[in-house]
A and B are shown apart, each in its own frame.
Chain A
Amino acid sequence: MTGLEKPMQAHDTLPWADRWVRAAGAGRRLQYSVLAVLLAFGVAAFFIMLSGKNPILAYRVMARGAFGSVDAISFALNKSAPYILAGVGVALCFRARIINIGGEGQIAIGGICATWAALHCGAAPGPLPIVMSLAAGALGGALWSGIAALLRIWRGVNEVIATLMLNFVGLLMVGAVLNGPMGEVGAGFPQSPVVPDSAFLPIIWPGSDMHMGILLALFLCAVCAVLLWRTPFGFGLRLIGASQPAARYAGVSFARSMLLVMLLAGALAGSAGGVEVLGVQYRLIDGFSVGFGFKAVAVALLGRLDPLAVVPAGLFFGFVEAGALAMQREIGVPSSLVDVIQGLAMVFVLCSIGLDKRRKRV
């Protein structure tokens, strides 16, 4: 036939070699995220100087506070786990151009369900209480995201607005539930009773607070990576995100894919809520999930919507937050700088995405 440029050899095109190619491609994309983060740190340094402190010193303290001890690392990992869990769900949605920003609400409802399940099945043997509580959290989150998905499918309600509104409803539900059926009698603060010991997430590093949430997050990220790249469902998501006409041409049902990916994202966010409740607080506390949802979006973006890259992005968020607390404690630089860094990083990544309309493998 015409125009063959070089003959195909069987041995230089084995599928597993793609993994390296893909990793290299992902690495190239991540370089924008790294640049964005560095730029964010740079701008934040300017603000630190504005407040009269030495940024180099501040960042050094931050690094020590994040990595300096086992306690610091376990604190950071515990913080990262829910970000990674919720973030990978959002990343899958965004792949299909479905803008799901309902993490706040889904995490909140997930936390409620996980707490409820933990309080009621603490007597079950073995790992069942943990399993069932996390599963309940996942179900709750899926239910919450499912509502938004159905509103979009049935009534054409924009999923951004729907998830946004449901966020606030979800957050208020936590308060409502804690002031009612699940509240601890006699406490001065809206919180639930402590869940039974059997529902505590196991500690994976003896002598520290590091719970298994991070392992769960890593595992589920791997599962989502397989889902996205290795299953027909994931292929369909990528098609929808790339081009809706092409997806229709290929026979992919938008409604079905949308519903499934939203349910999945909700389940992941719900389990993040469960992890937060069962691993850190051991009870449901009003406002436990504030800020998580939006940060999940930031993590997804920073990870360029790649389930595996979401891990370092989530870790970044967790470690920066851990370090910021130390920074505030030791030299008085307010920890709200973290939000500045995260917000700036997000803005820079978004701008880089907007500019880089070239070769981006879908």
Chain B
Amino acid sequence: MSVTLNSAELGGLLASTVRVASPLLFAGLGGVLCESAGTFAVCIEGMMLMGAFAGAVVAYLTGSVAFGLAAAALGGACVGLLVAVCTGRFRTDHMVTGLAINILVLGLTSFLLRGLFGGRAPNIQMQTLAPWTVPLLSRIPVIGPALFQQPLLTYAAFLAVPPLQLLLKRTQLGLMLRSAGENPAAVFATGANPAAIRAWAVIAGGVFAGLGGAVLSLQELGTFTDGMTNGRGFIALAAVLIGRWLPVRTMLACLLFGATNAIGLNMQGWNLPVSSYVIQMMPYLIALGVLCCFGRSTRMPAALGAPVSTH
């Protein structure tokens, strides 16, 4: 098997990797927030889808991308609120609740898409967010286009990583958040309310995941189609697991998955003996492999999934 890429092709591959990774990254950052505070983030898929839907519909109706983005964030946050209420107030099982809400959002978005516009699903077409070209830097061979010729939301996703990492590691808020996911009793002993912290973390996670959905509908496709997230939320979850609940590592995992996706898309011309389906399986198999190696992880938030009990 011989695969030779000239620098233009490699550059294109890298650009594609970064681009594909951006919705995953937003969702993954949302997952990091959610799980660090102790709630399983199986619901990211639903949050993303709701964000994609809300963003597309509002952007279409108002003609403004900014409103669309706000709506996407709000949509994701609403899903997060629902998850928080169920897992917090009603103490439901996190995983199964996430699944149920995913199904609910899937149906609701499809239904509203038709219902709000009467009859058949409208063809929402919007001007997608075009790439912003950074002068000079984008001329650098190979990595230039990848790093400096990307649309707005892609930049936003990657730029969000350092602040989030700092927040979690260097601020009192981040410390409380992580402690709520490790030992809620310790948080309670300081006089704070771990259940409230968890709820806010889930809602914030919804905001990020919703923006991830907006990337799909506003930046990539320019429309909303049924179930368009298509499992990306779960890939983002896998990225969070591989990234050991840290923003920077999650970003690397998302890039890895972006790469596998990009390779899969471009495989036709390469005559690799590996089916493109196997390439698509990579994210999940890698996630499983990583989990096998780490087994019972000492990095996993210790109170993840456990309901907060009062004294």
Contact = CB atoms under 8 A, between A and B. Distances in A.
Query: Within 8 Å by CB, do A and B touch in the complex?
Result: yes
A180 B277 CA distance: 10
Contacts, number: 151
Interface stretch (B140-148, B151-159, B160-168, B283-291): B283-291
Interface string B87-129: 0001111011101111111111011101110110000000000
B269 interface: no
Given A334-B115, A336-B107, A353-B92, A347 B295 contact: no
A301 interface: yes
Contact of B284 (A101, A165, A301): A165
Interface residues of A, number: 49
A281 B287 CA distance: 33
Residue from A160, A165, A176, A332 with most neighbouring chain B CB atoms (10 Å): A165
B1 interface: no
**Most chain B CB atoms below 10 A, which of A169, A294, A332, A341:** A169
A344 interface: yes
A346 B287 contact: no
For chain B, which range describes its interface: under 10, 10 to 19, 20 to 34, or 35 or more residues?
Answer: 35 or more
A295 B40 CA distance: 20
Interface string A177-203: 001100000000000000000000000
B241 interface: yes
B89 to A, nearest CB: 8
Q: Chain A: interface secondary structure?
A: helix
A101 B103 CA distance: 14
A21 B235 CA distance: 46
A343 interface: yes
B63 interface: no
B278 interface: yes
B121 to A, nearest CB: 8
Nearest to B104: A343
A164 B287 CA distance: 11
B208 interface: no
A47 B108 contact: yes
Contacts of B277: 172-173, 175-176, 179
11 contacts: A51-B115, A151-B288, A151-B292, A164-B42, A175-B277, A336-B106, A339-B110, A342-B107, A343-B107, A350-B86, A350-B97
Interface of A: 47-48, 50-52, 99, 101, 151, 155-158, 160-162, 164-166, 168-169, 172-173, 175-176, 179-180, 294-295, 297-298, 301, 332, 334, 336-344, 346-347, 350-351, 353-355
